[in-house]
Amino acid sequence: MKKSRLLLKNGMLFEGYSFGAEGTAIGEVVFNTAMSGYQEVITDPSYRGQMVTFTYPHIGNYGINSEDGESVAPAAAGVIVRDLCRRPSNYRSTLTLDAFLREHGVCGIYGLDTRMLTRCLREEGAMSGIISTGEESREALMNLLLASPEIGERDLVSEVTAGETGEWKRPLDRGWYFAGPPDPAREKYTIAAMDFGVKQNILRILASLGYGVTVVPAGTSANAIRKLDPDGIFLSNGPGDPQSVDYAVTTLRNLINDFPIFGICLGHQILALAAGAQTFKLRFGHHGSNHPVKECETGVIAITAQNHNYAVDERSLVESGFRVTHRNLNDGTVEGMRHRTLPICSLQFHPEAAPGPHDALGLFARFQELIDESGK
């Protein structure tokens, strides 16, 4: 077992053992409270630039398979676990978590006290960290860490978005499970999905509902999207600070009055900025599959999957034309909004789960309602 270290920006040092790739990795250290679904978490493009600490202690026990990835390769900059299972047991498993990370050059560390690490992040907030299997001194590691750009200084969306516009044609390998067979009544609708780091399960669900889905890169202009003549526009999840994606905010401002729009996570935040509202960074973010969210109008509470470091400032929504539709019961932050006059709504949480509970899957039907309301 090769030794490894994790050094946080506040000076805390954790010692453990290496798995995955050897070398050095730098990223923002966050924690995720999901008890399963580590493959989906690690491959979620929203984790670009971040090193994920799993609070559930035993990770890797069912291996990695070819179907459950939310992208084709790991998006996380590093993986931090308490106990690593090196011999998984599951009929779908094709390789170990260790081999998967090693294949894609991602560093992992295990055998450290993830409970202490999580308490530190809760008290002081998410912070930069460095994983290393080398022999550098503590001072040298800190110098490397301090010399690297902060995650908020990078346009992470440009690192994960699609390279070109194209129709999403991947087989609906799990669509039936979430949404049933395609609905012929919806087959006439086409959706332009702005890809800020979209999860594959979102596209599966949209396609399984019968929509024709065209994925467009985050930097696509408003005129290019208009030429596609979509019935609606979907704004995807993605990594980083929404204020760093100012080009997408500008594009959306030119489209907001003309199309039904549905946004999730980063798409929700970008929509708020386009409407003149503001966003702010949470202390340690929401990452996990157990966040209670209340629908304001009905009082219905759903347990949701979440993965975001930023939130919409509710006070700034007053002049935006939006009203709050969903609220986080842990900290009261805005989890959903809907425009008062236009066919536009968005959600901060992930109704598609992957991983997580399916309580909120029915909210995808709201997109259909928006398109119907628009008369397109």
Identified catalytic residue from 120, 265, 286, 335: 265
**Active site (annotated) includes residue 265:** yes
State whether residue 131 is helix, strand or coil.
Answer: strand
CA–CA separation, 33 and 273 (whole Å): 29
- Residue 40's closest CA among 282, 202, 164? 202
Given the structure tokens 């219905």, which residue do they identify?
Answer: 300
Amino acid at site 94: T
Region of 350 (left: φ > 0; alpha: ψ -120 to 50; beta: rest) is beta
CA distance 275 to 285: 23
120 is catalytic: no
Spacing of C-alpha 54 from chain mean position: 15
Phi/psi for 194 (5° steps) reads: -75, 120
Residue 306's H or E segment, with its range, is strand 301-312
Q: What is the 3-state secondary structure (H, E, C) of 202-215?
A: HHHHHHHCCCEEEE
8-state DSSP, 283: E
Q: Are 77 and 49 a contacting pair, CB within 8 Å?
A: yes
The total number of residues written for the chain in this structure:
376
Distance from C-alpha of 85 to C-alpha of 187, rounded to nearest angstrom: 44
Whole-number Å distance between alpha carbons of 118 and 103: 28
Q: Which residues form the catalytic set?
A: 265, 350, 352
